[in-house]
Amino acid sequence: MNTEKKKDRELAEILIAISIVAKRLACQLMKGGSTNGKSVRPAL
């Protein structure tokens, strides 16, 4: 595999990983969780 294709593949893998993490964080926040693992209680 040439260097350019290898770099493109690595970049694509990194972007996919970032996307997965962002989606998990968004889902966690939508459920009322927090990013630090502690539960967040909504204000009344």
Query: What radius of gyration, in Å, describes the C-alpha atoms of the chain?
Result: 17
Q: What's the pLDDT score for residue 31?
A: 87
The verdict on pTM exceeding 0.75 is no
Per-residue pLDDT of the chain (44 residues; tens, 9 = 90+): 689 999 999 999 999 999 999 999 999 888 886 656 665 555 55
- pLDDT value for 36: 64
Q: What separation in angstroms does the CA of 16 have from each of 2, 20, 36?
A: 21, 6, 22
Q: Closest by alpha carbon to 31, among 22, 39, 19, 21?
A: 39
pLDDT of residue 3: 93
Question: What pLDDT, on a 0 to 100 scale, did the predictor assign at position 2?
Answer: 87
